[in-house]
Amino acid sequence: MALPPFLASIVEWLRAGYPEGVPEQDYVPLFALLARRLSDEEVAQVADTLVEDGDLSINRIDIAVLISKITNNMPSPDDVDRVRRQLEAGGWDTTQYDL
């Protein structure tokens, strides 16, 4: 499935921030950061693309569970800061996205 240009740019941004793939402990804080700017459907589209391309070792059902966890139980500020620093190291301007 082809992503809209905005979502495709987010996928590329994530790949720059996580060139070796996203580690499991960063899934929830990463999706929480994305959920601040994207709808649940858009987060799922980005995650599906990362799964299909091997950047996440997770399946679509797990993604849905993680999204529901985000809405019910946000990750710790330390987790969010760790993910933010990782993305900034990959070149993301997180201030542009209010992350």
The CATH number that applies at residue 83 is: 1.10.150.430
pLDDT for 21? 86
Residue 51, domain extent: 5-89
99 within a domain of the structure (yes/no): no
Is residue 96 situated within a structural domain? no
The pLDDT of residue 73 is: 66
Predicted pLDDT of residue 72: 65
Is residue 94 in a domain?
no
Question: Is the model's pLDDT at 4 over the cut of 60?
Answer: yes
Residue 97 belongs to some domain of the structure: no
State the pLDDT at residue 1. Answer: 62
Domain count, the chain: 1
Any domain includes 95: no
Give the pLDDT of residue 71: 62
- Residues 92, 16: contact at Cβ < 8 Å? yes
Of 65 and 50, more confident: 50
Long-range contacts of the stretch 87-93 (C-beta < 8 A, 24+): 87/13, 87/14, 87/17, 87/18, 87/33, 88/17, 89/17, 90/13, 90/16, 90/17, 90/18, 90/19, 91/13, 91/16, 91/17, 92/13, 92/16, 92/17
| 3-state SS string for 13-80 | HHHHHCCCCCCHHHHHHHHHHHHCCCCHHHHHHHHHHHHHCCCCCCCHHHHHHHHHHHHHCCCCHHHH
Q: Is the pLDDT of residue 64 over 80?
A: no
pLDDT tens digit string along 5-47?
A: 989 988 888 888 888 888 888 887 888 788 777 888 888 888 8
